[in-house]
Structure 1
């Protein structure tokens, strides 16, 4: 009898892990969402240690729309987000990921929920770097695991690429002269510079304009359809506009996303 019970228990556990994420999170009533906690105004911890930001509000609204009552936010370094999904440590990542081919081999991506502009930041008063064209041979600060880290390594001749756990560490080194430039989300860089009194500014045209998507288990097609439907409805009914205007300086994110009608990820 004990052996039979153990076999049944193992079967139930296996089925829970292997089944569609949507069924499981609706059954438990909890959606585990990964954020970096260090990427304002996208996602960060507020003065009381509570998750806040654009990603956090979007995740909460997605959870509500797919029928899950509680969101459990899980902090993770950006470089560990994909591995965390594969290992089952969280159900959904809402942390400013670009849907790249390499990441797509391991996780599935939702339709885009945001548009991001990667900018070149330099110390205030720097005149020798006016944009991406001037980065060759420079010390470049990037967050590990990001598309800008890949760009610096593969597209900038002679660059000395310095990687950091998050953008504030890279921008701080830039401000103190330990890097010549930092590649950061424009919104994030401006927010961090203002909030922390860092003498750094964005220069030149955007390095890249890209859409951001949520990621999750590749074996969950029902979950993907539910998340995609929730995001699409949020674009259409104005919810993303309200959230982005709260966190992103009055930007209408729904209008930004409509500029990418063919953008699909996965």
Structure 2
């Protein structure tokens, strides 16, 4: 293992040669030394220990993607992911969970910059995201569908999206799926579901790919003339995300989720928030077996 600590004798030898290296060389060395030292120090921080010491677990979600994350009638975070996060906090020894509102496109950078400890908001563990952050075990799942205007009869499945204008939410897993699988479509990204559904309702888009629950929310709440068509395009798991280099926090979260799977907590919360007939545990198992 190579250390980021520069030996004192090496430092003395370096700074004894300023004429040979010049002022810019000295400054460059100092910048590199500081970057390496600060990075090493930051990565050494144990977020689980810090959360226990401060008695606060910071969890990010959008607070605008029901039934997973929303604001209730008292303007407080609520929903399936919120309930799961609160239970995780209790089981890892940090029952005071503070929710931080953010958007999907900011989640990865928010974790990397220590803006929050966890992201729990219907976030799918994709290979691209896993290069930058770690994911715990899945605790949720949903199916992604195609939504079109009610009078549309041309689009009824993935094959009929060729050449069509398809809206997705920026930074979401439906965007990454669409760009990978709909190469013959005009895929357009929007900052949030409200905007993308407004354009579908007004005819500026031919279709939208979004979760069943998200799509039904925008259709019903905004009274838009849209409908869901075709079979699910894909089942997508949701899992807690956290910064890399946090083995203690990752292990604690996974242990909490395993316990919630075993004792029926996840099944009960799924029925409460997603639907009385929704088999969260069984659908998670189905999603883990699927192949894209």
Q: Which runs of 5+ in 2 are unaligned?
A: 1-36
- Deviation track 1:175-208 (CA, whole Å, cap 9, x = no partner) reads 1211110010112211332222222221111111
Say yes or no: does 1:75 pair with 2:101. yes
> Alignment length, in residue pairs?
253
Give SS of 1:119's match.
strand
Cα distance in 2 for partners of 1:192, 1:41 equals 12
Is 1:217 aligned with 2:243?
Answer: yes
Residue 145 (1) aligns with residue 177 (2):
no
Residue 144 (structure 2) aligns with? 118
Partner of residue 253, structure 1: 280
SS in 2 for 1:97: coil
Runs of 4+ in 1 over 4 A off after TM superposition: 14-17, 260-263
Q: Aligned to 2:122, what secondary structure does the other structure show?
A: strand
* Partner residue in 2 for 1:5: none
Q: Per-residue deviation at 1:259?
A: 3.5
Map 1:140-219 onto structure 2 (within 5 A): 140-219=166-245
1:233 aligns with 2:259: yes
Cα separation, 2, equivalents of 1:28 and 1:16: 17
* Contact in 2 for aligned 1:240/1:252 (Cα 8 Å): no
Please, which moves more after superposition, 57-66 or 14-23? 14-23
Task: Give the Cα–Cα distance (whole angstroms) in 2 for the partners of residues 193 and 35 of structure 1.
Answer: 22
Partner of 1:29: 55
Show structure 1 runs of 5+ residues with no match: 1-10
User: Equivalent of 2:119, from 86, 89, 93?
Assistant: 93
TM-score by length of 2: 0.81
Contact map agreement 2:56 2:95 (CA 8 A) in 1: yes
For residue 123 of structure 1, report the CA deviation from its aligned partner: 1.0
Name the CA shift for 1:29/1:17 in 2 (closer, same or farther; >3 Å): farther
Q: Secondary structure at the match of 2:153?
A: coil
- Residue deviations 1:18-58 (CA, integer Å, cap 9, x gap): 32221111111101100012211111222332111111111
Higher share of residues assigned strand = 1
Distance 2:288 2:169 in 1: 29
Kindly indicate whether the alpha-carbon contact (under 8 Å) linking 2:143 and 2:212 is maintained by their aligned counterparts in 1. yes
1:57 to 75, 83, 87: 83
Instruction: Quote the Cα distance in structure 2 between the aligned partners of 1:96 and 1:114.
Output: 7
Q: Which one has the largest radius of gyration?
A: 2
